[in-house]
Amino acid sequence: MSKILVIHGPNLNLLGTREVGIYGKVTIDEINKELRSAAGKKKIGIEIMQSNHEGEIVDVIGKAKSSGIGAILINPAAYTHTSIAIRDAIAACGIPTVEAHLSNIYSREEFRHTSLIAPVAKGQVTGFGKTSYVLGLEAAIELLKKKNA
């Protein structure tokens, strides 16, 4: 079976200390541990990366299909609202993608209300903290199962 690629966007490496009123005290390592555990229980392969660099994220998405990736779970963070390049990479790769956000982007500043990623994603989970990732992973697993059926 194919693997799921989890992509954490810019500044998510600072989780746990960054704007805890918005993002909580959960760290990226805690999120990754929970994702690995959940994927392992379902016997699904998982690759996880974090980057603060748009081009690196685009490169990873572009190589995903040839790397055996069957679904993507992405929190593009600030690139959600600005990156046509990441949006186009998702559209071009042909891999079903789920967008996830710790905070509810629609209840925050107005500039965060537009996701350039949402139109090319199969769905979006937003506003549930760490649980957004877990729910997003469950959705990605379902997409992977349908794709492999």
Spot the catalytic one: 8, 53, 79, 101. Answer: 101
pLDDT at residue 93, rounded to an integer: 97
| Confidence check: pLDDT of 1 > 70 | no
Tens digits of residue pLDDT in 48-59 = 999 999 999 999
Spot the catalytic one: 8, 23, 79, 133. Answer: 23
Q: Name the domain count of the chain.
A: 1
CATH code at position 125: 3.40.50.9100
Q: How far apart are the first and last CA of the chain?
A: 10
Phi and psi (nearest 5°) for 17?
Answer: -125, -15
CA–CA separation, 90 and 86 (whole Å): 6
Name the token pair of 43.
Answer: 């016997």
Active site residue 101: yes
pLDDT at residue 149, rounded to an integer: 67
Nearest CA among 147, 149, 144, 109 for reference residue 39 = 144
Domain that holds residue 120: 3-148
Active site residue 79: no
| Confidence check: pLDDT of 123 > 80 | yes
Inter-helix orientation angle 54-64/84-93, to 10°: 0
Please give the average per-residue pLDDT across 122-139, as a whole number.
96
